[in-house]
Amino acid sequence: MRKGLIYVCLTTLALGVAPVVLAGPSQADIDRGKELVFSRKDGNCLACHKMDDGKLTGTIGPELADMNTRYPDRGILFKRIWDETQFNPQTVMPPFGRHSILSKDQINRVIDYLYTL
Amino acid sequence: MLKAKIILVAMGVALLAPQVLAGATPEEDRKETVEYFKQMFPEVPLKDFVNGQYALNEDRRAQWQSLQDFPPYEFAVAEGKEMFEAPFANGKTYGSCFENGGIGVRQNYPYFDEGTKQVITLELAINQCREANGEKPLKYKKGDIASISAYMATTSEGEAFDIKVPDDPKALAAYEDGKQFYYSRRGQLNFSCASCHVQNPGKWIRADLLSPTLGQPSSFPVHRSKWGELGTLHRRFAGCNKNVRAEPLPAQSEEYRNLEYFLTYMSNGLPVVGPSTRP
Amino acid sequence: MNKPLLTVGLTLSLLVPLCAQAGAKEDFQKIYSDAKSAQKDAGDFKWTTTSSRLKAAESAAESGDYDKAKTLAAEALKLAQESVDQRKTQAEAWRKAVIGG
């Protein structure tokens, strides 16, 4: 009886934890990311990039689509948002992380959203 | 597509070229700048660059031209003329401070004053004139000074800018200082003036179309819809700085005057078209 | 009732928050003055975001909320240091962006 209960608990735990690790961000993370990307005060990414259902988007940067194919390595995407000048010194993309425009967490939410494009 | 590729290649070459080739004289800088924008926009006649974004986009130009019958700055220019002609308390007028009575001189500003070793802009000269005649100086960004400057610009309409960097190390230093300002990245967003106006003219930043370096000061003072009134070039400098989250410098500070000196030199040979309208 | 013990206890309980408060105030003042001097060092490269954090830190300190003031001052310090780095890097880097340069 008791053994059974422990087993049930362990299964629940495994089921409860595993999806979080494997299935990636929650819808809330993605929603928060989109908010940051679209907000003029935070990411203001639409100023330069066309994407998703964004209106009045700029044409300075490339359109953001198909991000899984273009950035199979999440770490690289993070680094480029953190400080694109490390990859291309003449870029006009703000160094969002290095200049504290967005926090680490915020950049991660932005990436969660970008991978849905 | 091919055109875009050529531009990209040209930009790549420009960015990769060794530093030794960097224009050693202001005149070499200007020629390279003209060449750069000609290559970027081969279909735009050189003189049209004074129209900024309207030279680069047909829809925007048509929209803008349709508004030129009743320009919103007309009243301010008339007021500027009145103020310009009205005598100070001592009986003298602005005309007494300027060459040719201040008529048709806009294209010579800013100039380097070899006496005081500094750049004199038209707005600074207007206030120096007031103070020399016992009047209080005007505020620099908008209002009366913009109206007077706008009126003076109308008397130079079509005249080619003729900015000189005299053979004086201090004059060259002022020019270089302005050039450095134009190309230095500033603010939390890490933009230089050139990030937008050299690297990305003709592109959209949100709903705004970026203008080229060439011709930028020709249309000032401008009436911006955003302001709902006329404003001076230094007001615009401050606005650009704030946009990139850089603390603006005071209007008519040495830095902004030197910046205007460099920027206007780049437009030598282009006509005065101020005042004008912008979004 | 042990009166002396009670007094000691009461005094302690009054002193502890005061000490914590004094510590936070000093911490704030140190960070704030560092942030101010870094901002000055930024020269023509000051950021508006630094200025607004400094102002917010000041007003939090005025209202006695030194924890909040300390956090804001630390943010201002970080931004100011980044703007100083920008000024130093740009002293040379601007040349690479020049047309024909």
Interchain pair A60, B200: CB under 8 A: yes
**How distant is the Cα of C64 from the closest Cα of chain A, in angstroms?**
27
Report whether pLDDT(C17) > 90.
no
Omega cis (within 30) before B169: no
Q: What percent of chain B has pLDDT over 90?
A: 89
Q: Write down the pLDDT at residue C4.
A: 60
Distance CA B141, CA B119 (A): 18
A55 contacts in chain B (CB < 8 Å):
none
Distance CA B13, CA B6 (A): 10
pLDDT band at B67 (very low <50, low <70, confident <90, very high): confident
Residue tagged 């970080």 (tokens): C78
pLDDT, mean of residues B169-181: 98
**Catalytic residue ranges of B:** 240
Domain total of chain A: 1
**How distant is the Cα of A102 from the closest Cα of chain C, in angstroms?**
12
Domain contains A34:
yes
Q: Write down the pLDDT at residue C7.
A: 60
Interchain pair B200, A57: CB under 8 A: no
Domain contains A12:
no
- B219 touches B50 (CB < 8 A): yes
Domain contains A11:
no
Report whether pLDDT(C21) > 90.
no
Q: Which residues lie across from B224 on neighbouring strands? A: B229, B278
Q: Which of C46, C49, C97 sits opposite B183 (nearest CB)?
A: C97
- Angle subtended by helix axes B233-243 and B254-266, to nearest 10: 100
Among B9-18, B120-129, B167-176, which is the least confidently predicted range? Answer: B9-18
CA distances for B142 relative to B51, B70, B81, B221, angstroms = 21, 21, 16, 9
Domain ranges within chain B, ordered by starting residue: 24-69+165-278, 74-154
Structural domain boundaries enclosing A105: 25-114
Q: For the domain bounded by B24-69+165-278, which CATH number is listed?
A: 1.10.760.10
CATH classification of the domain holding A33: 1.10.760.10
Domain contains A84:
yes
- What residues in chain A have per-residue pLDDT under 50? 1, 5-6, 8-21
Q: Write down the pLDDT at residue B1.
A: 41
Report whether pLDDT(B11) > 60.
no
Q: Residue B97 annotated as binding?
A: yes
pLDDT band at B62 (very low <50, low <70, confident <90, very high): very high
- Angle subtended by helix axes B122-132 and B144-154, to nearest 10: 110
Per-residue burial over B53-69, b = 16 or more CB atoms within 10 Å of its CB, e = otherwise = bbbbeeebeeebeeeee
**How distant is the Cα of A27 from the closest Cα of chain C, in angstroms?**
30
User: Is the CB of B184 inside 8 Å of chain A's CB atoms?
Assistant: no
B247 contacts in chain C (CB < 8 Å):
46-48, 50-51
pLDDT, mean of residues B172-176: 97
Q: Kindly report, residue by residue over B18-56, the tens digit of the pLDDT.
A: 444 445 799 999 999 999 999 999 999 999 999 999 999
Domain contains A51:
yes
- C28 touches C77 (CB < 8 A): no
- B122 touches B115 (CB < 8 A): no
Q: Which of A90, A99, A100 sits opposite C97 (nearest CB)?
A: A90
B251 burial (CB, 10 Å; 0-12 / 13-18 / 19+) is: buried
pLDDT, mean of residues C83-101: 95
Nearest of B273, B278, B265, B247 to residue B121 by alpha carbon: B265
Mean pLDDT of chain B: 93
Distance CA B22, CA B8 (A): 19
**How distant is the Cα of C26 from the closest Cα of chain B, in angstroms?**
28
Distance CA C101, CA C97 (A): 7
Interchain pair C79, A98: CB under 8 A: no
pLDDT, mean of residues C72-101: 96
ipTM, 2 dp: 0.88
Pair of tokens at residue A4: 């059974």
- Looking at per-residue pLDDT, the higher value among C98 and B5 belongs to C98
Q: Which helix (H) or strand (E) holds A76?
A: helix A74-82
Specify the amino acid at residue B23: G
Interchain pair B15, A47: CB under 8 A: no
Instruction: Identify each DSSP E strand in chain B by its residue range.
Output: 111-113, 118-120, 204-205, 208-209, 222-224, 229-231, 276-278
Pair of tokens at residue B138: 């005007």
Q: Which of A59, A81, A99, A101 to mutate to test the interface with B (most CBs of B within 10 A)?
A: A59
Q: Residue B197 annotated as binding?
A: yes
Among A95-104, C13-22, C56-65, which is the least confidently predicted range? Answer: C13-22
CB-CB neighbours of C81 under 10 Å: 18
On whether the B74-154 domain is CATH 3.10.129.10, my answer is no
Q: Write down the pLDDT at residue C101.
A: 74
Q: Which of B189, B190, B206 sits opposite A56 (nearest CB)?
A: B206
Q: Write down the pLDDT at residue B112.
A: 98
Q: Does this chain's domain B24-69+165-278 share its CATH topology with B74-154?
A: yes
pTM here is 0.87
- Looking at per-residue pLDDT, the higher value among A16 and B265 belongs to B265
Q: Write down the pLDDT at residue A34.
A: 98
